[in-house]
Chain A
Amino acid sequence: MKTLLLLLLASFATGFAVEIEGIPRPAAPRPAEILVPKEKTLANGLRVIVVERPGVPLLTAEFIVRSGSEIDPEKLAGTAKFTASLLTQGTENRTAPQIASEVESLGASLSADAGWDSIHVTLKTLSANADAAFAILAEVARKPKFAPEEIERHRRQALDDLRLEMERPGYVARAVAVRALLGRSPYAHPADGTLASLLRIKRGDIAALHERAFVPGNCVLVMAGNVTSEQGFGLAEKAFGDWAIAKTAAPALPKPAVEKPRAILVDLPHAGQAAVYVGGPGLARADDAFTLAEVTNAVLGTGYSSRLNQEIRVKRGLSYGASSALATSREFGLFGASCQTKNESAAEVVALIETELKRLANDPIADDYFASRKEVLTGNFSRDLETNDGYVKRVAELALNGLPLDALAHHVERIRAVDAEAVRPFGGKYLAPEAMTVVVAGRAKDVEKPLRAVFPNLEVIPQSKLDLDTAPAAKKTK
């Protein structure tokens, strides 16, 4: 049976500084239910987690391998993502068109992708068709064919995709920043690969990555939707129960050291707008201080009224939106503030971001503003729990990072418990502007002069010379 935890999720805050003639007061908050995930480990070591959400006749399931792009072999950036993309492109029993046709005729969808620490296959289906859909999910995860013609077809598509991405200033700025920040770490290269590395990946590399990472003990199956936990475990047992135990498991990886800060301008001569990325070290998701990091980041850059968006968009009209985010892995994390602005304003936006980073370390935060920033996080959480996909996302995040599943029930209280006084020392330690690498991707003609005034050591990389294939990312050209 399902257990429910009651939690006061509805907000206590009333909004900062709202003293308006005629406006009614909020009523008393009402309690929300947080569902408790059920879990079971199959005999072969596969961990299965089910969230029972009766009602809407749908089911979302995510099969997660706890290794991702960080196990791409040296010089073969993109292998994990390449492998993920090929899973649905043919198995021992079905061709790619057969898989697409069978899945979609069930009212289902099946997709696969890879990133830091994970390769995931996501199934969304009418719950009534779960049996048939799970059979295909298990087949693509366990028995992909990696046919040579599918490999070549995918290689051509991935290369063309990447050619398009490399024209997007936001994509370029982030990829260059991560490469520069993480240097030679296994996490530094783009998960998508590069135009050069995608040409080097061979069938043997793909098959080897699959054999090494896709073993039951290295995988988790998370599902949420219109099933009981018994039904969910039954679906998992039927689809994955006879999957043989294999010895291999992904090795522990060294914790990446973040490189010395740099300032880089990538010249995209046709960019209609510049992308700005200011990034530095962050925290691993499982770090005890992660909730503090999340709240600190919320003050700076989560939501419309975060400081970055207030200063850059609302007060000055310099962007459609400015935000910051914490990228996490099991071993480490990165912080990144980002924004797109007209080329002429890029240097001004960089300065505004740095001012806000300093302010975090130096200035106290007003109580009502601080409370409101925490509610942005609790609100995002409560809305995630309106959907199967949202539950799967939140549960998978805990499972992937080795955190207890009951953290779901305590999430809101943990956020509310963060003390404003803790933010300043934390900001000073982790988010100092001097520790940040700054990357702008835009038109050098308009960006370079004002940016060089602030960063005399600015490195300029022409679009045609951009090389994300090896560390370091840039060769100094000026």
Chain B
Amino acid sequence: MSGFPVAKARPATERVRLVKAACLSLLLALAAHAEITAPPLAFTDRTLANGLRVIALEDHSTPIAAIQIWYRVGSKDDPAGRSGFAHLFEHMMFKGTKRMPNETLDRLTEDVGGENNAFTQDDVTAYHETVPSNHLERLIWAEAERLSSLMVDAKNFSTERDVVKEEFRQSVLAQPYGEFGEWIPKVSFTEHPYKRPTIGNIEELDSSSLEEVRKFHATFYRPDNAVLVVAGDFDPADLQRWVDQYFGPIPKPEEPIPRVTVKEPARSGERTLRDSSPKIPLPALAVTYLGPAITSDETPALEVLQQALSGGESSRLYRVLVYEKELVQSAEFAADLRMDLGLLTFQLVLASGVDIAKARAALLQEISKVADAPITDLELQTAKNQLLAGQLAARETLDGKASALAEAAAIRGDPALVNTDLAKLEAVTAAQVQASAKKWFTEKNRLVLEYLPAAEPAKKGKK
């Protein structure tokens, strides 16, 4: 059931890095002295008079073209009382325009051997297609068409809203820990709209109207709020001609784009919240800390920390909590960094019969350890090699390359970062990883969430 427009496809780290495999394993006598290189992404970057940023990467390795158009609007921009609206709107973008019937994007992609999808995050909404390259011009036309106008009638609006409600039921209600996952941001942020779950909730989805759809399109879907990336098998002169022809005439509105300016206050002391659910067989525990924005200099160190704590079976949380102490069924740490600020989240599902206080104490001990002492050389090199391999794999496809460029341009403001991220990652030291852990993993900045099996649903609240 993948392949449909989805909410919240937020990969922990999707930035692509180039490459030098570390010489590691002195400890292991496996010395893999490998200088691995891959060419930088040789893209072009221009901005049209109406503000649309256009990034192109010519690559004829396969007769495919990948298109990504990212808008700088996300669930943090949901209107008041309309949690889930940006994502609901994403679904409406697959309806029609004056000239284009509903679901034309599917006709232009999957009917000819291509695919399309979209996702909404807190900061951005991204639409992407992969097509046989002889169909590229039609997609440039269609993306311009749905940016310049959108026509959704009452029937389509209501049916597609029902689809989103089913998406909510499938991703939240039908998952044992679905509501737990929604609860974490709700209580981790107090002021910033990052506290709203991207998928929203049934009541607020039901309150939304067709008029609000029109208004949202007019407010945020404008060329100066978008980044278009095309990667693949095309002649660059053709591509730029199509972009000028179809996107060029779209006007740039006079009004400024509204931006979220709310600042999340620093936390003032450790808190513990408890809740319960009748549909979980095992207790769960989360510990969150507010963290830096994604553009912070600390980002590479936090990516290494994430990998060292929870990437694979050699990572600390797996080795200590799952394998050695057998306290938990799963243990994850995510440095979820966003445009305005980040959230550093530990999430555990306990093993059968384990007392939650014991799991909590063991987790807090591991958190203290990374703040009190540097990770080992082996941990550092393993993390770097894993990040390197993951990012090489993410760049195997044209869609992966286009996505990396779009993320760097739309979220971090500079597509060229795709060619410098790796050097920054390679330069990370164990001392920097420790310094970041020490800075953020303080008692004052800590929120603990305990989620227990219950006979019947309980009210959320402090106990």
Contacts and interface: CB of A to CB of B under 8 A. Distances in A.
Do A and B form a real pair? yes
B21 A128 contact: yes
B112 A372 contact: yes
A211 interface: no
B113 A379 contact: yes
Contact of A18 (B24, B104, B169): B104
Contacts of A57: 19, 36-38, 392
A103 B28 CA distance: 11
B178 A272 contact: yes
A107 B388 contact: yes
B397 interface: yes
Contact of A105 (B30, B172, B329): B30
Interface string A178-192: 000000000000000
B166 A272 contact: no
A411 B158 CA distance: 41
A58 B393 contact: yes
B99 A22 contact: yes
Interface string A16-27: 111011111011
Contacts of A32: 62-63
Given A20-B104, A305-B106, A321 B111 contact: no
Contacts, number: 290
Contact of A104 (B115, B313, B322): B313
Nearest to B99: A21
Interface in A97-128: 97, 100-109, 124-126, 128
Contacts of B170: 273, 319-320, 340
Contacts of A129: 21, 32, 34
B324 to A, nearest CB: 8
A402 B165 CA distance: 45
B273 interface: no
A58 B134 contact: no
A105 B281 contact: no
Given A97-B314, A304-B4, A107 B389 contact: yes
A16 B163 contact: no
A303 B130 CA distance: 14
A129 to B, nearest CB: 4
A304 B118 CA distance: 13
Interface stretch (B42-50, B378-386, B404-412, B424-432): B378-386
A102 B28 contact: yes
A160 B172 contact: no
Contacts of B135: 11, 26-27
B448 interface: no
B305 to A, nearest CB: 16
Nearest to A30: B63
A386 B103 contact: no
A314 B30 contact: no
A376 B161 CA distance: 26
B396 interface: yes
A105 B3 contact: no
Interface string B349-362: 10110000000000
B166 A388 contact: no
A313 to B, nearest CB: 6
Interface residues of B, number: 93
A323 B1 CA distance: 7
B352 A156 contact: yes
A57 B281 CA distance: 43
A317 B103 contact: no
B100 interface: yes
Interface string B73-111: 000000000000000000000000001110110111011
Nearest to A102: B28
Interface string B35-64: 011100000000000000000000001111
Contacts of B38: 56-57
A163 to B, nearest CB: 4
Given A30-B63, A304-B3, A383 B115 contact: yes
Contacts of A10: 63, 113, 132-134
A273 B4 CA distance: 18
A320 B199 CA distance: 13
Contacts of A382: 62, 64, 113, 132
B159 interface: yes
A38 B203 CA distance: 58
B178 A30 contact: no
A278 to B, nearest CB: 15
Contact of B396 (A17, A303, A338, A387): A387
A270 B279 contact: yes
A129 B61 CA distance: 25
A37 interface: no
- Residue of A88, A108, A129 with most partner-chain B CB within 10 A: A129
A340 B134 CA distance: 36
Contacts of A109: 312, 389
A342 B396 contact: no
A388 B25 CA distance: 26
B312 to A, nearest CB: 5
Contacts of B311: 104
Contact of A153 (B111, B130, B323): B323
B382 to A, nearest CB: 4
Interface stretch (A165-173, A197-205, A356-364): A165-173
A20 B32 contact: no
Interface of B: 1, 3-4, 19, 21, 24-25, 28, 30, 32, 34, 36-38, 61-64, 99-101, 103-104, 106-108, 110-115, 130, 132-135, 137-138, 141-142, 145, 158-163, 165-167, 169-176, 178, 233, 242, 278-282, 311-314, 318-319, 322-323, 326, 329, 349, 351-352, 378, 381-382, 385-386, 388-389, 392-393, 395-398
Counting from the closest, the 3 A-B pairs by CB-CB distance are A272-B173, A317-B162, A128-B34
Given A13-B111, A164-B282, A317-B166, 13 more contacts: A10-B132, A10-B133, A58-B389, A97-B313, A97-B314, A105-B25, A126-B32, A157-B351, A304-B4, A320-B166, A372-B112, A375-B110, A375-B112
16 contacts: A9-B113, A11-B114, A23-B141, A23-B142, A33-B62, A55-B61, A57-B392, A104-B311, A106-B25, A107-B386, A124-B393, A305-B110, A313-B163, A316-B159, A372-B112, A382-B62
